[in-house]
Amino acid sequence: MTMNAPRLTRREFTAALGGIVLSFSLAPTVALAQNPARLPGSLDTNRTLDAWLRINADGSVTVFTGKVELGQGIVTALAQIAAEELDVPLAHIRMIAGDTGRTPNEGQTAGSQSIEQSGTALRMAGAEVRAMLIDLAAKKLDVAANTLKVNDGVIHAPDGRKLGYGELAAQADLKREATAKVAPKPAAQHKIVGKSVPRIDIPGKVTGAAAFVQDLRLPGMLHGRIVRPPRYGAKLESFDEATVKAMPGVIAVVRDGSFLGVIARREEQAINARLVLMEFAKWSGGPLLPEPAKLYEQLMALRSEDRVISEKDAPLPAGATMIAATYHRPYQAHAAIAPSCALAEFKDGKLTVWTHSQGVYPLRATMAKALGMQPRDIRCIHAEGAGCYGHNGADDVAFDAAMLARAVNGRPVRLQWMRDDEFKWEPYGPAMTMKVKGAVAGGRVVDWAFDVWSQSHNMRPGDPDGVNLLGSWYLADAKRPGPARHSPQPNGAGDRNAITLYDFPRQRTTHHLIIENLVRTSALRTLGAYANVFAIESFIDELAAAAGIDPVAFRLAHIRDERERAVIEAVAKAAAWKPGESYQRGDGRRGRGIGYARYKTVATYTAVIAEVEVNRTTGVVKVPRIWAAVDAGQIINPDGLINQIEGGVIQSMSWTLHEHVRFDRNGIISEDWMNYPILTMPEAPKVETVLINRPNERALGAGEAAQGPTAAAIANAFAAATGQRIRELPLTPERVKQALASPLVGKPLNTVRYPIDASADVVEKGL
């Protein structure tokens, strides 16, 4: 049954539901069923074929996706999928990504879901459009459709006649709802999917083209800068407006409450004006930050919403060896190589923003609330940013640029944050505490309890109950951020990957969502998975040591899923792992360790082995080699997948060895690379990646699969090398030297046991 639908433009109808901005990119005259059947991937919320594909008169194809390029190679992979299903050369595909005026609404490009969501939609839409074109050709050629063959966008009849897609473009009506009833190609017929092809986005980046939003220049463009308070929540009392306005090139000073910015003709003029504003601005108030030395205790003492997310019961045998440990992860920054940037133009009541946001539709909806505009009057166009996975300053700087653009109606404003803006004001990955208890008997885990405390990992734009844009909180009509919320499993947030995959008969996992925000936090790549996998896999090694069993064999003994077993066995083979090697005393300087996880319990399977070298004098930990084995289901682009895994390994190494946000009671101290060091080129390890291709399985998200296992592998390798375990990240030289000063240095791990009665108190193991 259908209902009478109004004629809707393709600009889209949006609705906020559960914090996710949904969009139905409807072509004109489309009537939707009252209870439409669920469609796969992002087709379900963007149901018309022309929302995804356009066949052009020259035979080329324009592909529209709401997922955006962040350096992960997703636009290339999606182009491969579309080209494969349509049977056109990859060179004939033109990609349009992340534009609220042109592309479907696919929410955020996050959570390693682009292939699963957008890739699935394009695969099904492509198969359906290909079948439609074949049917049109069959009628035009007066032959049976099943006698036609397609090659490189040309349909061939048995008698030699042929029609190109371009010749059929005018008759192909894509303004219709997708059915998802046309089966896509079987993997055995793939010619493009499964092959390594050059990335679409790379040429411009290596030839000096305008590849990033930071490179964009518009006619008549002005430059802006923002002045931030000295600490969160401070109020602007006064500033020297007259002096700044008299400076060379200054066009306007914009103040709204405690929001303060300047616009100038040239960038260096805006920078100089910002410095003067900072010198003479007077601020008051703002809460103190936590005491750094007592951070984790203070966080755990705050109000939290506690939720048991997994539980399984079984009798606990007497005489089990029971241990417990506590692990910590600090606040960590996105540390984007280029500071966040946006361009905005306000003209005739309409706002256009060029942004490296990961979600142009949620950003548009939130900016509309903050600016008192209608979403239809705002267009957000994605332009790549120079390096970031997660919610950094991209959305905030877009709002800042819009605020300044409104002050110079009709002229575009380019606004780039300064390095200290980026480090001090972006939302960080939350500090976390993981407490784990476990028991082993007869070489098996018989009890497991995992508790994780974390602030919110999801404070992106798009919240229905708040405005998650930094600048809006400082306006005279100050907006408020949305509340912290639990996210449902299996995706989760702070509890992502907190539920163990191992086959334990008795287990309980609890998420303690900290409601108060002492420090601004949101989504950093993997959300809570990095810390949770670090804790789980470190503790698995500790349980293996308590049982006196090799950690690889110990893991395999608790795994039933053959795909899980396969990646662990593959990485052990690649690294030539020797059973029991991690327990041999050695020289206290070199060791290897393993980490494993299936990202979000539903995505890519990844096992990592790391080799470490510890300098006992300086406390420096080096990681010369890493091996990774990966099962991402069907592989779209092998080279792209390897790059994703190896990039994740490198980023995780940087987090694990170096990265933590420094602060004191008065504010953030990390404001440059000196106070927030990251992994350097000489420190990068040799990485060997083994891919397990399963072409008949669904493609799985892989962008965030390696970070957790890598951290655990490094921590376990350090323990194997030194006989000591560090449970607080990162493994800084100071922390390493403190650990090595412990009297247990050099003691074989398999003698560190805590046998007690099942009814007795748990022994806490920790530094």
Q: In sequence order, which residues have a C-beta less than 8 Å from that of residue 219 and are 6 or more positions away? A: 412
Report yes or no on 707 lying in a domain. yes
Q: What is the pLDDT of residues 289-301, one digit of tens each?
A: 999 999 999 999 9
Q: What is the pLDDT of residues 300-317, one digit of tens each?
A: 999 999 999 999 999 999
d(CA 765, CA 217): 57
Q: Is residue 182 domain-shared with residue 234, that is, in the same domain?
A: no
Q: Is residue 131 domain-shared with residue 226, that is, in the same domain?
A: no
Q: Is residue 384 domain-shared with residue 532, that is, in the same domain?
A: no
Q: Are 368 and 413 in contact (CB under 8 A)?
A: no
Please name the amino acid found at residue 387: G
Q: Are 185 and 61 in contact (CB under 8 A)?
A: no
Q: Cα-flanking dihedrals φ and ψ of residue 8, to 5°?
A: -115, 140
- Total of domains in the chain: 3
- Name the token pair of 583: 């327990």
DSSP string, 412-455: -EEEE--HHHHHHHSPBBPPEEEEEEEEEETTEEEEEEEEEEE-
Sign for the pseudo-dihedral over CA of 56, 61, 67, 70: negative
Strands 53-55, 321-329: parallel, antiparallel or unpaired by DSSP? unpaired
The pLDDT of residue 764 is 35
Q: Is residue 376 domain-shared with residue 239, that is, in the same domain?
A: yes
Model-wide pTM > 0.75: yes
Q: What is the dihedral of CA 8, 10, 15, 21, to 10 degrees?
A: 170
Distances from the Cα of 398 to the Cαs of 245, 371, 383, in angstroms?
A: 24, 12, 12
Last residue of a domain, one of 383, 410, 425: 425
Residue 548, Cα to own-chain centre: how many angstroms? 37
Least confident of 3-12, 307-316, 555-564: 3-12
Least confident of 11-15, 369-373, 653-657: 11-15
Distances from the Cα of 368 to the Cαs of 22, 80, 360, 408, 469, in angstroms?
A: 15, 35, 12, 19, 11
Last residue of a domain, one of 390, 425, 460: 425
Return the CATH number at 627.
Answer: 3.30.365.10
Report yes or no on 469 lying in a domain. no
Q: Is residue 42 domain-shared with residue 109, that is, in the same domain?
A: yes
Q: What is the pLDDT of residues 514-530, one digit of tens each?
A: 999 889 999 999 999 99
What is the domain extent for residue 737?
518-765
Q: Is residue 676 domain-shared with residue 754, that is, in the same domain?
A: yes
Q: Is residue 558 domain-shared with residue 606, that is, in the same domain?
A: yes
Q: What is the pLDDT of residues 572-623, one digit of tens each?
A: 999 999 988 766 554 789 999 999 999 999 999 999 999 999 999 999 999 9
Q: In sequence order, which residues have a C-beta less than 8 Å from that of residue 149 and are 6 or more positions away? A: 155, 156
Give a three-class secondary structure readout of 571-584.
Answer: HHHHCCCCCCHHHC
Q: Is residue 546 domain-shared with residue 410, that is, in the same domain?
A: no
The pLDDT of residue 421 is 97
The pLDDT of residue 62 is 98
d(CA 328, CA 164): 60
On average, the pLDDT of the chain sits at 91
Q: In sequence order, which residues have a C-beta less than 8 Å from that of residue 477 and are 6 or more positions away? A: 257
Last residue of a domain, one of 425, 458, 488: 425
Over 50: is that where the pLDDT of 468 sits?
A: yes
Over 90: is that where the pLDDT of 245 sits?
A: yes
Strands 507-514, 590-598: parallel, antiparallel or unpaired by DSSP? unpaired
Q: Is residue 575 domain-shared with residue 697, that is, in the same domain?
A: yes
Report yes or no on 758 lying in a domain. yes
d(CA 173, CA 168): 10
Q: In sequence order, which residues have a C-beta less than 8 Å from that of residue 667 and are 6 or more positions away? A: 230, 231, 232, 289, 424
